[in-house]
Amino acid sequence: MKRGFTIVLAAAAAVVLFGGLVYVVLVVAHLSEPTAAAVYGLTPRRLWATTVALLALVGVGMGGLALAGPRRRFGTASGPLEANVALIVGVIGAVNGGLNLALANGGPGTGNGVVGGAAAVVLGVIAVAMGGLALTRSRRTAWNRGR
């Protein structure tokens, strides 16, 4: 019972932290003020931001798989494929999310995809950090085996 409660509490804290980080990115980009006239529906920029955010989320998942341990789910046992995918996808997500924020001319609700762009930046940075950590860990392990 205690373990389940701890997992739920950690997940809730992660969601709150993620929301706070997205808001910080919006404040830094000067796009945190909502618009008076909201645009509803899918716009091309919202589609772009959503796609990039999902791509960055895949990078976070791959980074998590890379950090999970020696059990290889993808690729061969000799190469850290998950870590490399997390690095590449994380960079793509963070750069495209930043581009979306740079091109936006309004805040949330304008149809520019600023919330998705900010989420892509946060998730992309997390994916790069996880992939880099896993790659460093796998190289250190390979180096120690060679000694």
What is the Cα 64 distance to its own chain's centre?
11
DSSP one-letter code for 94: H
Q: Is 20 exposed, middle or buried (0-12, 13-18, 19+ CB in 10 A)?
A: exposed
pLDDT, one tens digit per residue, over 23-73 is 888 888 777 777 666 777 888 888 999 999 999 999 999 988 888 876 555
- What pTM, to 2 d.p., does this model score? 0.78
pLDDT, one tens digit per residue, over 70-129 is 655 555 544 578 889 999 999 999 999 999 988 888 778 787 888 899 999 999 999 999
